[in-house]
Chain A
């Protein structure tokens, strides 16, 4: 029984991984087309203002731009598979080293932020579900809409100015080598701001997930059994609402890696998001290409992980 379940799960994983191949191929082709045809010839960018024909020809040969496009595409695929995108154009740092060293700082901010956001989102959504339809519910929803309407830029500018610069409660910006110091000192305000920005949309969404469940038959049955409203919400409803919540949180994680770019930029955190901004500013194509392809791959893997977690949360879900 257990063995057959395991094998069916393995079967599911293999099939899903197989399905990723055409999508991933599409991502690779899309990025290739964007950078090789839509964008201009990067050799002019690299050669600078005073470029002669010889210098440009040299750079074109070095980048493989003088090869037919099939060869160029193959070079790109090889780069992806070997994790070797060469050196960044602007700094000369190996792209693989950039990716590896920027991931840590990003995660130092993102993991606590995601955990707190999910926890507070669920707690507040269930609390609001207690009083659904009331004036409080309506007011909180309007407050969420207003909160979502203020640009994230304003939150960051005002909080950084007020809490860090004026009141000195947090460092204005900075980052060190010590993980604990980074987490407890430098990441605190970014996490706080990230929470303030994301709690409104999260609460709205989670509330709708919870409200989708409260009218189901099993809730009526639980009520008829005489269970307390608290137990119904926290045990019965939460377990069912967990499925869309898991999907949302999991599939959002890779996007968040880039999405926190404003926080990283303002607070000088050397993460992936800030690296993307810098690369766009400097037209550092290898860095952008690498990040785009790997983040797309991560998005697909995390979607698969979310599906696998359904099976763990909901025994009715059969992974096939």
Chain B
């Protein structure tokens, strides 16, 4: 015995995730896009906890206040000075009631000698919308909705796809036939049509509804890949070893095999997030997505469509460029992640 521990003589060989991380680190584009994605996720976290953009619904500026670099809109400022407080949403059936209520509250407050009408800004860093909401705050809040929907829906879709793929690939036989039939049925209907059909059936509008629609229709892609992975892995030695010590089917599928195929699930999820964010924006734009009163990039684009004709381009620019920046960064990162985790694919 010369003292040194024989294990210490060999450096531990790096695992899949360490290797992938090293490859990612070497890719400058991947790191840049990861940084952008993290920034967006941080803004989601901050706005969800109310630290940022909490007061997006405050009417802090004059209606359609232009961005600061354009200077105040004199014609508009003069026009909108005596404007009656607009209902928070024109589509809200209670809008007029709320306006009446608001007027009553303001009258009451005025009687008590309080100044309710704080001075409204003529310009904001990136302008204001029809009601004088700050566009920057609104874009952050809208991003929160769109990104959370994209992430959660992708999680649901990948979880379903993994579960079905695992059962199908691991057990084979009748189970496999059943899920393959399921798969062929779901892929026979184009995904957009499937999404719209489910939206028509589920009459309720809400964030949870969109997550369900996207998650329940999006499992087919992950299913196909996870099934192939499970077929490949179930015959491997480590699964036989698990079998020999009496592991149950579920244990073999999700404790033994899943960690070895989880990178496929992760890559699938990163691809789905991009598609789902785009889909949420379209659904919300059409009015099948988020309910009235919740802001998302899609509902912003819906408002901006009419504003553009009036020459008020800033809400469109803000929502469109925030979304484009995030989706670009996320797609580039998803590509890099796939290359890093599965170098054979390249």
Interface 9-residue window, one of A27-35, A69-77, A104-112, A175-183? A27-35
Number of interface residues of A (CB under 8 A): 46
Nearest-neighbour CB distance to chain A for B218, whole angstroms, equals 15
Q: How large is the interface on B (under 10, 10 to 19, 20 to 34, 35 or more residues)?
A: 35 or more
Give the docked Cα–Cα distance between A280 and B200 (Å): 5
Give the residue of A157, A281, A292 whose beta carbon is less than 8 angstroms from that of B197.
Answer: A292
**B189:A299 contact, CB within 8 angstroms:** yes
* Interchain CB contact (< 8 A) of A288 among B191, B200, B297, B305: B200
**Which residue of A has the minimal Cβ distance to B287?**
A281
B282 with A262: CB separation less than 8 A: yes
* Contact assessment for A292 and B320 in the assembled complex, using a CB-CB cutoff below 8 Å: no
Distance A266 CA – B327 CA, assembled complex (angstroms): 24
Residue A168 lies at the interface, judged by CB distance under 8 Å to chain B: no
Q: Which of B85-93, B156-164, B177-185, B255-263 is found at the contact surface with chain A?
A: B177-185
Which of A58-66, A126-134, A146-154, A184-192 lies at the interface?
A: A146-154
B168 to chain A, nearest CB (A): 16
Q: Which of B247-290 contact A (CB under 8 A)?
A: 274, 278, 281-282, 285-288
Determine if B295 is an interface residue (Cβ-Cβ < 8 Å): no
Chosen A-B contacts, 30 in total, with CB atoms closer than 8 Å, are A22-B184, A26-B182, A26-B185, A27-B185, A30-B186, A34-B197, A34-B201, A40-B203, A146-B328, A149-B323, A149-B331, A150-B320, A150-B324, A151-B301, A151-B324, A152-B278, A152-B282, A153-B301, A154-B324, A254-B190, A258-B196, A259-B192, A262-B282, A276-B193, A277-B286, A280-B197, A280-B288, A288-B196, A296-B188, A299-B189
Instruction: In the A-B complex, list the 7 residue pairs whose CB atoms are closest, starting with the nearest.
Output: A26-B185, A255-B190, A149-B327, A39-B201, A149-B328, A280-B200, A296-B188
Q: A149-B326, A153-B298 are in contact. List 14 more A-B contacts (CB 8 A).
A: A22-B184, A27-B185, A38-B201, A145-B331, A149-B325, A151-B297, A157-B301, A157-B304, A258-B190, A259-B192, A261-B192, A277-B286, A283-B200, A292-B194
Which residue numbers of A lie inside 8 Å of B, CB to CB?
22-24, 26-27, 30-31, 34-35, 38-40, 142, 145-146, 148-154, 157-158, 161, 165, 254-255, 258-259, 261-262, 276-277, 279-281, 283, 285, 288, 291-292, 295-296, 299-300
